[in-house]
Amino acid sequence: MSLYARLFLSHLLVICVALGAVLLISELLAPAFIRHHVSQMVTLIGPDGGSLRPDLESGVRRTLNAALLASLPLALVVAALTALFPARRVVKSVELLRDGSHAIATGDYGQRLPEEGHDELTDVARHFNRMAAALQTVEQGRVELISNVAHELRTPLSALRGYAEAMKDGVMTPEAVSGAILRETAAMERLAQDLSVVSRVEAGAVDLHPGDFTPATLIADAFERFVGAYEERGVALVRSEGVGLPPVTADFERASQILANLLSNALRHTPRGGRVTLGTGRCGGDVSFTVADTGTGITPEHLERIFERFYRVDPARVRGDGSGVGLTIARGLATRMGGRLTVASSPAGSTFTLTLPAARSHLP
């Protein structure tokens, strides 16, 4: 039996039980009620009214029962019509939910249910649509991730194949090929490691070891690590530190990893003779760490997308300078530490700002 038939019959059964209860109650309560009023009528009629008592009681009871039984078909018709609409509403919602869940189970994540009304069924439809949207986003991310990983691996794999064929044909000696092979395998290892990190960051499973440290300590560590590389490329790396800044609470190694990524990107995109400023300052009650370069800048349509996995402002840029997930990892780590990572840009250059929470002991 279909759900619609079961719901409809269940409504009718409830109503029939209610009508039966009414008849039973009338049979139990009516006699006393009738006798009381017949006694009043007999008193009004006088001594001759006593002989009419049985006829009056019987007549009133027959009339009452006949009225109740006569109203039963009409009550059933009204009950059927009343049960029809809610049963149809419930069944329609269940059918839509069934079809929608079947579509999602077969991979159609664009399926949505109509959100009409203000009852629990509408809430179910609304939650279903949110679930479908979340699954659609996950599926799009999965497809994009597979496509991007395949694209990222194509370059080193093609290079490895070329070196192997060159060595097989005797064009290159094993000694000459070994260094190139090690370089390409290192690139693939770095990609695999970064993918592992970004998956843990996005899943919130990355290990953090927060502690208090001064902004100057983090800036000094980042400056010392990169000043040599900047000098080799002919790019000036300068420090601009704020005064009177409180300590911050964060994972020092993870914060250092974020700044390392920002400084590496700034070095790649700043031409020789340019300058990158590593600074600190206040951001409300928190502390900000900025990396500002004098490169070509980023156009507005690319600003937020640069934090997506494998997104590149210039798709034609030579791959291999990075795995394409560095900024994704950096923003994820910043968020996990209770901070933020933002970017602002103009034709004169870009500024990345890492904001970390001030230590509780130094909050006002």
Q: Which sequence spans correspond to the domains of the chain?
A: 3-108, 131-202, 211-362
167 or 287, which is more confident: 287
Name the packing angle between helices 174-202 and 326-336 (round to 10°): 30
User: Which phi and psi (to 5°) does residue 171 adopt?
Assistant: -70, -35
The model's pLDDT over 247-261, given as tens digits with 9 standing for 90+, comes to: 999 999 999 999 999
Among the ranges given (18-27, 35-44, 60-69, 177-186), the one the predictor scored with the smallest mean pLDDT: 35-44
The model's pLDDT over 139-172, given as tens digits with 9 standing for 90+, comes to: 777 777 677 677 777 777 888 888 888 888 888 8
Residue 181 has a pLDDT of 85
Statement: 131-202 belongs to CATH 1.10.287.130: yes
pLDDT at 94 over 90: no
Please provide the average confidence, as pLDDT, over all residues in the chain. Answer: 80
Dihedral sign of CA atoms 311, 312, 313, 315 in order? negative
131-202 and 211-362 share one fold? no
Most confidently predicted of 75-79, 98-102, 266-270? 266-270
122 or 221, which is more confident: 221
**Taking CA 98 as the corner, what is the angle to CA 94 and CA 102, rounded to the nearest 5 degrees?**
170
CATH number for the domain running over 211-362:
3.30.565.10
Residue 318 has a pLDDT of 44
Among the ranges given (77-91, 125-139, 147-161, 172-186), the one the predictor scored with the smallest mean pLDDT: 77-91
Average pLDDT over every residue of 207-218: 92
Cα distances (Å, whole numbers) of residue 241 to 223, 276, 287, 335: 12, 14, 11, 23
